[in-house]
Amino acid sequence: MTAIAFPAPDATILARRGEIIAGLTQLVPAECLVTSDIEMRVFETDALTAYRRMPLAVVLPRNTQEVSAILRYCNDLHVPVIPRGAGTSLSGGAIPQEDAVVIGVAKMNRILEVDTFNRFIRVEAGVTNLGVSNAIVAEGFFYAPDPSSQLACTIGGNVGMNSGGAHCLKYGVTSNNVLGVKMVLMDGEIVEVGGPGPDHPGFDLLGFIVGSEGQLGIVTEATLRILPIAEGARPVLFGFASSEIAGACVAAIIAAGIIPVAMEFMDKAAVAICEAFAGAGYPLHVEALLIIEVEGSETEMDAQLAQIIAIAQQHEVQVIRQSQSAMEAAQIWKGRKSAFGATGRVADYICMDGTVPTGQLSYVLKRTGEIVKEYGLRVANVFHAGDGNMHPLIMYNVNDPKEQEKAEAAGNDILKLCVDVGGCLTGEHGVGIEKRDLMRHQYADVDLQQQMRVRAAFDEAWLLNPAKVFPLDGRVMG
């Protein structure tokens, strides 16, 4: 019924399940091992819930040494391994397969070192994204990348997916904010890459590791750059008569030399859905809404907003709503941040994640509407306009296999469109299983082969998260 293929499980591994579990019990205590069907149910999918597979077993190690022992054991037996953070991946990056052991980092959730003078924090991989900021907020610091799932998602998952968020326009994505990692390779070898200082000898392996979707190793600790919290932050709502005008306004703000800390876009459908859920006070009559956040002192925010408002007025802005209090500001963000959950109340949906050059935003929005309509479905658009990272939410009925196929086909058409206008298949969610088979639309074979050779340089036998990212056929080893 579903379009994305999984590799056939290795029967010899399935046949040895009992023996493999017995081996794992020698490596970790019983409370770290999940093997009954009913308990493994939680791990059979991630946030790409249309797909699910029961794993061979789930291990929740407590430290790097245990991860190392488990990986060495699986490597020796040639058993695939699926690394898992909190399972919030929207691209199916953490979906298991029947012949694989899931290694979850949930139990590794300690803050190891806070150093505000040198502006870094060292944490275990299972700490949540928000947990990092919460550990340093009292000292006036925060961790910049802020995916919408930040309450639940782990730093290990963020490193794997190179996660982004609303504030990446100013502060960059995960790869700009990770200083170093401790990682276990498939053969059990523990390596430390990078660290708090500015220069490190050798190749910039962190560049590969961040965003590698758990294919190069399992990250057990990360050293993260932390930043001082701005004196104040203020989001403002702007309502426009059309998506085109809103898009032009975004471009004009950037062209004027202003980099707000966030510029979020919502179309009419998304505004209605989020407002019904969060009661954020969003205007329901506009065709497009921008949430633009500025930060600094009161004087600085006033000055920057005056410039932004002047530009918006040149773009026939219909509504300007400034937050008057911290509570109103939180409410505005609550509406935006709950977009995915709120849409889930209305319909089942798949969330796309293409990035386009910002000059192409209006065109891609228009074509997205047309594509989805051609398939007889509905779409809501909510995304990071400042960096062109689009999130069409394609709504369908999950109980209707034909609708699911249509939704996936529409999604594929939209992602191809993103690539065709000079963008890419994914800006922050990753390739996972979802976009694996579209990789050839963005890359020539030779490009993919180079990536695969690097992948194999870390994991020669392709045991780590093997059915993800790269098309299943034509795989290249080291």
Site residue total, another protein (CB under 8 A): 95
- Rounded least distance, CB 260 to another protein, Å: 12
Report the site for another protein in 393-432 (rule: CB under 8 A).
Answer: 422-431
Q: Closest CB to another protein among 168 and 262?
A: 168
- Rounded least distance, CB 115 to another protein, Å: 8
Report the site for another protein in 346-385 (rule: CB under 8 A).
Answer: 355-359, 384
By CB under 8 A, is residue 114 in contact with another protein? no
Q: How far apart are alpha carbons 97 and 13 in whole angstroms?
A: 12
Of the candidate residues 9, 23, 131, 195, the single one contacting another protein (CB under 8 A): 195
- Binding part of the chain for another protein, among 33-41, 68-76, 253-261, 284-292 by CB under 8 A, reads 253-261
- Rounded least distance, CB 262 to another protein, Å: 13
Q: Closest CB to another protein among 35 and 389?
A: 389
- For 79, how many CA atoms within 13 A lie in the half-sphere containing its CB? 32
By CB under 8 A, is residue 189 in contact with another protein? yes
Q: Closest CB to another protein among 322 and 449?
A: 449
Q: Closest CB to another protein among 115 and 400?
A: 115
Structure tokens at 31: 């409370």
Q: How far apart are alpha carbons 241 and 3 in whole angstroms?
A: 38
By CB under 8 A, is residue 322 in contact with another protein? no
Of the candidate residues 138, 202, 324, 325, the single one contacting another protein (CB under 8 A): 202
Question: Cα angle vertex 161, ends 158, 165, to 5°?
Answer: 65
By CB under 8 A, is residue 297 in contact with another protein? yes
Q: Closest CB to another protein among 319 and 424?
A: 424
By CB under 8 A, is residue 462 in contact with another protein? no
Of the candidate residues 328, 416, 451, 461, the single one contacting another protein (CB under 8 A): 451
Report the site for another protein in 117-156 (rule: CB under 8 A).
Answer: 117-119, 140-141
Report the site for another protein in 257-276 (rule: CB under 8 A).
Answer: 257-259
Q: How far apart are alpha carbons 445 and 422 in whole angstroms?
A: 18
By CB under 8 A, is residue 29 in contact with another protein? no
By CB under 8 A, is residue 31 in contact with another protein? no
- Rounded least distance, CB 384 to another protein, Å: 7
- Rounded least distance, CB 12 to another protein, Å: 28
Cα distances (Å, whole numbers) of residue 368 to 348, 419, 428: 18, 13, 19
Q: Closest CB to another protein among 151 and 256?
A: 256
- Binding part of the chain for another protein, among 9-17, 188-196, 237-245, 336-344 by CB under 8 A, reads 188-196
Of the candidate residues 25, 65, 134, 175, the single one contacting another protein (CB under 8 A): 175
Task: Determine whether 432 is exposed, middle or buried from the number of CB atoms within 10 Å of its CB (0-12, 13-18, 19+).
Answer: buried
